[in-house]
């Protein structure tokens, strides 16, 4: 019989926090790491970008579908995507975790490790956080970013006539989630890639960075393509028309849609958790590497598809049914 795993309550808050921060190396931007009342992070050009997201067990992840390490990596990805969408690079994170007292300490360690290793890949440090008792596992991440002297890429910069383009997978996470929900034998169908995309999104950070000089507006696709294009429209005071023929689902999405008897466009138009990026570019400029044209900025308001107002698909809202 294997020994009962030690719990967070048995080890104690300070010890668990110590385990989470001890093994990580800090980048040069971490001027003072964890262990004092606050950390101190370099903000080389006198500005710091900041964004936060909270993930809740049962709502944003399930431990029977994702490992704790995958949950950590996902939390990092969705936060980092917000920073890249501003044209900035992540420098540091603070991570607060709530969990029940009987949570095995290995679970918290693995969430921390997932966040830490993914942060390290991006050159960012985990510089602080909190660990508290709660009924559900809650992972709250705040990420800081450095604009490197450049201008931020806002949602409000889209101009009429601009090209609308995307980079990264669309609908893949939503398709993976649908396969998990349906209990589909996705492995046998060769659809592991979609489930992996749901467990750990892989935002195309390099492509977002490549767009930061030329994009007139940019956002990450976190609420669904139509919803996030709608945010660009509202902030910029324009309309966006999407050419549906330019949004070709991948082969595996088509296979998954057929398997589940659904329309793959629903995933592509409203699935948010891939953390792809959408941006607009001046008509005459070449698109950066990795970007695909999907439409055009027009006069007016709201998003249309092939000239008709997009209906439904308000995208992910935390409290939608």
CA triple 270-97-90, angle to 5 deg: 65
Secondary structure of residue 302 in the 3-state scheme = strand
Least separation in angstroms between CB 44 and its own copies: 6
Instruction: Pick between residue 23 and residue 133 the one whose CB is nearest to its own copies.
Output: 133
How near is the Cβ of 281 to its own copies at its closest, in Å?
17
Give which of 51, 140, 128 is closest to 99, Cα–Cα.
140
Q: Quick one: 54 or 182, whose CB is closer to its own copies?
A: 54
Of 79, 82, 106, 103, residue with least CA distance to 93? 79
Taking the least distance from each CB to its own copies, the nearer of 59 and 181 is 59
Of 32 and 206, nearer to its own copies (C-beta) is 32
Residue 35: what are its φ and ψ, rounded to 5°? 120, -15
Phi, then psi, of 79 in degrees rounded to 5: -75, -45
| Cα 279 to Cα 266: distance, rounded to the nearest angstrom | 21
CB of 94 to its own copies, least distance (A): 4
Q: Quote the CA–CA distance of 73 and 308 in Å, as a whole number.
A: 38
Length of the chain: 321
Of residues 58 and 307, the one with the C-beta less far from its own copies? 58
The residue to which tokens 């992910």 are assigned: 316
Q: How far is the CB of 301 from its own copies (least distance, A)?
A: 16
Element (H, E) at 198: helix 192-199
Ramachandran category for residue 306: left, alpha or beta (phi over 0 → left; psi -120 to 50 → alpha): left
Least separation in angstroms between CB 184 and its own copies: 26
Write out the H or E segment, with its range, that includes residue 120.
helix 105-121
Closest CB to its own copies among 144 and 255? 144
Give min distance, CB of 294 to its own copies, in A.
19
* CA of residue 38 relative to chain centroid, distance: 26
Nearer to its own copies, 41 or 255 (CB): 41
Calculate the CA 202 to chain-centre distance. 8
Nearer to its own copies, 111 or 179 (CB): 111
Please state, in angstroms and rounded to a whole number, the distance separating the CA atoms of residues 173 and 203.
11
Query: Shortest Cβ distance from residue 78 to its own copies (Å)?
Result: 10
State the minimum distance, in angstroms, from the CB of residue 31 to its own copies: 6
């Amino acid at each position: 019989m294997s020994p009962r795993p030690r719990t967070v309550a048995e080890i104690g808050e300070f010890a668990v926090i110590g385990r989470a921060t001890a093994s990580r190396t800090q980048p040069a931007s971490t001027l003072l790491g964890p262990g004092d009342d606050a950390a101190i992070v370099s903000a080389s050009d006198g500005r710091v970008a900041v964004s936060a997201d909270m993930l809740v067990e049962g709502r944003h992840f399930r431990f029977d579908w994702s490992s704790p390490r995958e949950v950590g990596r996902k939390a990092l990805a969705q936060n980092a995507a917000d920073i890249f969408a501003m044209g900035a690079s992540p420098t540091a994170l603070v991570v607060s975790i709530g969990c029940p007292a009987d949570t095995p300490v290995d679970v918290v360690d693995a969430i921390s490790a997932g966040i830490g290793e993914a942060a390290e890949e991006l050159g960012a440090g985990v510089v602080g956080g909190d660990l508290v008792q709660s009924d559900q596992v809650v992972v709250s991440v705040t990420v800081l970013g450095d604009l490197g002297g450049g201008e931020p890429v806002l949602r409000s910069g889209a101009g009429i006539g601009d090209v609308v383009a995307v980079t990264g997978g669309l609908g893949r996470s939503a398709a993976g989630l649908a396969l998990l929900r349906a209990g589909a034998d996705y492995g046998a169908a060769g659809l592991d890639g979609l489930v992996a995309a749901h467990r750990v999104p892989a935002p195309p950070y390099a492509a977002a960075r490549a767009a930061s000089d030329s994009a007139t507006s940019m956002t990450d696709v976190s609420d669904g393509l139509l919803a996030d294009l709608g945010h660009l429209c509202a902030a910029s005071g324009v309309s966006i028309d999407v050419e549906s023929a330019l949004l070709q689902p991948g082969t595996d999405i088509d296979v998954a849609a057929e398997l589940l008897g659904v329309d793959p466009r629903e995933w592509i138009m409203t699935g948010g958790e891939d953390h792809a990026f959408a941006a607009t570019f001046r008509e005459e400029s070449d698109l950066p590497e990795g970007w695909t044209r999907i439409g055009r900025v027009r006069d007016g308001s709201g998003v249309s598809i092939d000239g008709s107002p997009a209906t439904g698909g308000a995208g992910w809202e935390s409290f939608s049914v």
